[in-house]
Chain A
Amino acid sequence: MSPVVAQSSALDLTKLEPIFEYYKKMARGSLIPVLQAAQESYGYLPTAVLETIADRMKAPISQIYGVVTFYSQFRLLPRGKHVIRTCQGTACHVRDSSKILETLKSALGVTPGGTTIDQMFTLETVACLGACSLAPVMMIDNEAHGRLRPDRVIEILDKYRK
């Protein structure tokens, strides 16, 4: 994950309040759920949000940064309108998922982790989506697309562009 932390000028930090309120009763082990909820509401984890969480949960920001950068789910940069997660699991591998990834990379002009210039797509890879019977698979937002071929990938992308 990139160490560059995005800044945002107009950030509404009050959106964090209901999250703190909800997890108040859970004294221990609530850091990861709080981060997950914060990311859900902001789309990513801006510095100011991390600082507020550190402050309110009485934990050093270094510890929070350590947790955020350990797990692949957390993001320090905003993402595109649609998130493409292409599966790199074994079942997908033997059904040529590498070609799906190559097609996505060349069609979007980004490498995994990157976002297209028009902020339309973020490309990510995922270890396994657990939909192995439909390999190769990619998920765009929360919709899984299975039994892919390079030419179908292009068709599917076009649908999301509209």
Chain B
Amino acid sequence: MAKNIEDLERLTSSQDLEALKNRVLPRIAIRKDPQAKPYNDVTHHIMICCDTGCASSGSMAIVDSFKKELAARNMEKSVDIVVIGCHGFCEMGPLLVVYPDDYYYIRLRPDDTSEIIEETIINRRPVPKLLYHDRETLRPIVRYNEIGFYAKQNRILLANCGHINPEDVEEYIAYDGYKALAKALTQKDQTDDLLMEVKKSGLRGRGGGGFPTGRKWELCRQAPGETKYIICNADEGDPGAFMDRSLMEGDPHRLLEGMIIGGLIIGAQEGYIYVRAEYPTAVKRLKNAIAQAEAIGFLGENILGSDFNFQIHIKEGAGAFVCGEETALMRSIEGQRGMPTTRPPFPAISGLWGAPTNNNNVETWANIPGIILNGGDWFASYGTEKSKGTKVFALTGKIRNTGLAEVSMGMTMREIIYDIGGGIQNNKKFKAVQIGGPSGGCLPESMIDRPVDYDSLVEAGAMMGSGGLVVVDEDTCMVALAQFFLTFTRDESCGKCTPCREGTTRMLNILNNITKGKGKAGDIELLEELARNVKLSALCGLGQTSPNPILSTLNYFREEYKAHIYEKRCPAHHCVDLITYWIDPDRCIGCGACRKKCPVQAIDGSPKKPHTIDVGRCIKCGACFGACRKNQAIFKK
């Protein structure tokens, strides 16, 4: 159990830190060694993921059920229920791990808990029906690192996620947490050397552009001025990306440690974490982590007994995608409308309140402790020549294993999608993978055997972005996908510069027409011209990259655009204005399943007589289509 803030003792040296670590280790020993001695008679740890994903699948009910069940059996003193952050395999949630036996149970329901207590806690046997079953061999897999989803990953950044209690700083310390900070403080008069390690690591910004982190820090460090700020951009606004949320929810101290070390190297006294409002759990965990770090002496005055002082504040965003752009983000922290400003001056010279400011995202900051502790060369031993280290990807869309996967840079997209992601849902055909959010692009089948790194993606007309991978199958219309992104950028455009404000609106109008069957000759060429102009003339990075989804779909899926425009046909049967649902009277047996499923009562018919769809009422939701699948009487055309 995590201690209360007031019970944490203040550490004043690296020896104190080492001593505390050694005191905490026996408490968690059974997680590392199945033969370890129980600590205070606690024989088992049940680690339950209560990250946003698992929580919405009902993990809190599992926690409650365990507590009740254990209390009823008088076992609450021998079993610790530990609420953990994301294990990454959200598809299988709610999930848990039982130590010391290291059994991994998935897709749980509250009534599974008594069986787990009976079999696994008391008899120390696995419960086969709750284990993950391999898709091909259909055999149960007992331990999670033997599952295909994890086997090809390289979890160095997410090492603690799902293994420690994110609300307990002592557990982080037991896993070598804050050791990098202690090491950095011993070299605090040679911050040149520390900066050298960051440069040597080859770490590039994980938020999108991929600018070398060490060089960015150096610019801010060299900038004149006594007061300097660092910012953690946790405004993870790219739809389809949630690795930063998982890091903040699952291992918040790693982020804090990275920022404190960054403050030391750059020469800043204060740091801000700008978190989006849609992440309440992340905010809660970070606030708790900051309070603990202050109490224990990692934040505030005289950190670990040194003369280094550093503070971290949390700023909650208020819902504006453009605030992910660094100049807009700083205006938002200052309390203004979050609109980008022109550069120069660059934030490294004049940023927050006019002071030199360094901005990195969550994943970038969280990589710092590992680099300082193990050295830049260690980090650079992972990855490709120009893209070092690992990258966390969020796998979503029409993929079997949705979740988070951390892999070395340079793995091919095919390995990520098929070996880790398990391939496409419902045995459909792969069509494309969209990467990089609204600023990114998509890669078709022909491009997915290339190694994934910053430069290869740009060459292919996409970009790393924050690493959201949305897999689409043959049922996804690529014109509608581009339309979706343009709707997003149009809505989120701050309106300051004309090319973005008007350009996204014009491009969207054309796409809307095309998907409604009102496209005309010349639309494609006009789109391309508009896209080129917006790219060249918009004020900020978000505006400049907003045409990318159009350009990349036009590049790889031009035929689909043409089918919509010239044949008034949506090849993926997706665009509702270009399809209708109808019931084949010869096949319909009048079972009424479709009528019951229809949310707008558009289906009419008496039992055992062929039914009909009222086309005027039908919202084309497809519920009937799914309901009828057995009889195959309903068609899209």
Contacts and interface: CB of A to CB of B under 8 A. Distances in A.
Interface residues of A, number: 50
Nearest to B617: A106
Interface string A13-46: 0000000000000001111110110000000000
A93 B620 CA distance: 15
Interface string A123-137: 000111111111101
A60 interface: no
A67 interface: yes
Contacts of B523: none
Contacts of B56: 131, 134, 137, 143-146
B430 interface: no
Given A88-B239, A106-B599, A134-B53, A71 B338 contact: yes
B245 interface: yes
B623 A150 contact: yes
Contacts of A70: 320, 337-339, 494
A73 B277 contact: yes
Nearest to A106: B600
A71 B319 CA distance: 5
A28 B599 contact: no
Contacts of A31: 335
Nearest to B236: A130
B36 interface: no
A149 interface: yes
Contact of A94 (B277, B280, B398, B437): B398
Nearest to B240: A90
Given A29-B334, A73-B277, A91-B470, A133 B53 contact: yes
Interface stretch (A4-12, A96-104, A114-122): A96-104
A89 B52 CA distance: 16
B316 interface: yes
Contacts of A96: 622
Nearest to A97: B484
Interface in B310-350: 315-321, 332-339
A2 interface: no
A143 B472 CA distance: 27
Contacts of B75: none
A133 B599 contact: no
B381 to A, nearest CB: 31
Given A28-B334, A32-B335, A144-B55, A94 B397 contact: yes
B418 to A, nearest CB: 18
B419 interface: no
Interface string B261-296: 000000000000000011110000000000000000
B334 A90 contact: no
A81 interface: no
Contacts of B53: 131, 133-134, 146
Contacts of B494: 70
B552 interface: no
B370 interface: no
A33 B316 contact: yes
B402 A93 contact: no
B490 to A, nearest CB: 12
A31 B277 CA distance: 15
A115 to B, nearest CB: 18
A31 B316 CA distance: 12
Contact of B315 (A29, A102, A149): A29
A11 to B, nearest CB: 22
A11 B492 CA distance: 33
Contacts of B52: 129-131, 144
A82 interface: no
A90 B484 contact: yes
B599 A103 contact: yes
Contact of A90 (B277, B318, B470, B626): B470
A132 B599 contact: no
A90 B468 contact: yes
B548 interface: no
Contacts of B339: 70
Contact of A102 (B336, B468, B492, B619): B619
Contacts of B319: 71-73, 126
B335 A128 contact: no
A132 B240 contact: yes
B621 interface: yes
A114 to B, nearest CB: 17
Contact of A127 (B237, B335, B600): B237
A146 B621 contact: no
B396 interface: yes
Contacts of A144: 52, 55-56
A142 B280 contact: yes
B395, B434, B470: most-surrounded residue (chain A CB, <10 A)? B470
A132 B318 contact: no
B57 interface: yes
A67 B280 contact: no
A66 B339 CA distance: 12
B545 to A, nearest CB: 15
B55, B91, B337, B396: most-surrounded residue (chain A CB, <10 A)? B396
Nearest to B245: A130
B279 A130 contact: yes
A18 B100 CA distance: 48
A99 B278 contact: no
A71 B320 contact: yes
A72 B57 CA distance: 27
B273 to A, nearest CB: 13
B280 A93 contact: no
Contacts of B338: 70-71
B335 A28 contact: yes
A79 interface: no
A107 interface: yes
Contacts of A94: 397-398, 470-472, 476, 481
B320 A91 contact: no
Contacts of B39: none
Nearest to B627: A151
Contacts of B470: 90-91, 94, 132
14 contacts: A67-B335, A72-B320, A89-B240, A94-B398, A94-B471, A99-B619, A99-B621, A132-B468, A133-B242, A133-B402, A135-B396, A150-B621, A151-B599, A151-B623
Interface of A: 28-33, 35-36, 66-67, 70-74, 88-96, 99, 102-103, 106-107, 126-135, 137, 142-146, 149-151, 153-154
Interface of B: 52-53, 55-57, 90-91, 93, 236-242, 245, 277-280, 315-321, 332-339, 353, 394-398, 402-403, 434, 437, 468, 470-472, 476, 481, 484-485, 488, 491-492, 494, 597, 599-600, 619-623, 626
Q: Which 3 pairs of residues, A with B, have the shortest CB-CB distance?
A: A89-B239, A133-B90, A144-B56
